[in-house]
Amino acid sequence: MSARLDGQVALVTGAASGMGAAIVRRFCAEGARVHAAGLQPALLRALAQATGASAWPCDIADDRAVRALLEAVVGAHGRVDILVNAAGIIHEDDGATIDDAVWQKTLDVNLGGAMRVCRAALPVMQRQRAGVILNIASVAAFNASAGMASYAASKAGLIAFTRTLANRYGAEGIRANCLAPGWVRTPMSEMEMRAAGAARGIGVEEAFAALTDRIALRRVGTAEEMAACAVFLVSDEASFVTGAVLVADGGARVPASARAG
């Protein structure tokens, strides 16, 4: 690895599995001192042992827990250089039948959770006059599928929130961007495909395969590919990039299904 993040202090939420865990692995390989936060202590410990990261069980829906997490990270290093908000949940729902509790929970984790962690980290970054925030959104913010009402709303809100941060704190040396993945093979997407496949009488692998006709590259992405995008956005190579949304969906937003062959 190129050690593009050598010596940087990074905090990654949603780090126990999927894209969050892949980002932790890549950041560690790039030389960062990474604090991995999430809700699954056993997975976090295993990740920490494998990578050298520090494991921090934390519920980002709990503001006191978030503030304690930031205090611990700052207490250990005196600063936070990189913040990645990768924590998120998904629940199938529909505009006519949305359950208030599901709507509130989805927004409270996907949008509210990122807000809480940013709110706790921003004063530290302001004192440093430097810092990078990367929020993991989704292409669902732009072209949501049926049954993704609360999830899509939360991710669209996250993009808008990120752009307000970029606008407000850019003059203080703080950058804020979003990564918007498309279909990526993670435990969350496998759960979605299991449900979709069951409704059609097919298995998870068949359900994933059926997606590829709608993707220009004819495959789903990997968590490692998203981690590579994340490294770029938080590194000095993207020093003039802020308020941006990097869509990494394999070309699913182009009319792949309309092409011959």
Active-site positions? Answer: 151
Fill in the amino acid letter for 122: L
* Environment class of 15 (CB within 10 Å of its CB; exposed 0-12, middle 13-18, buried 19+): buried
C-beta neighbour count of 2 within 10 angstroms: 11
Q: CB neighbours of 171 closer than 8 A, spacing ≥ 6?
A: none
Structure-block tokens of residue 123: 């004063």
The strand pairing partners of 133, in sequence order, are 83, 176
Cβ neighbors of 223 (< 8 A, separation 6 or more) are: 18, 19, 21, 22, 184, 185, 186
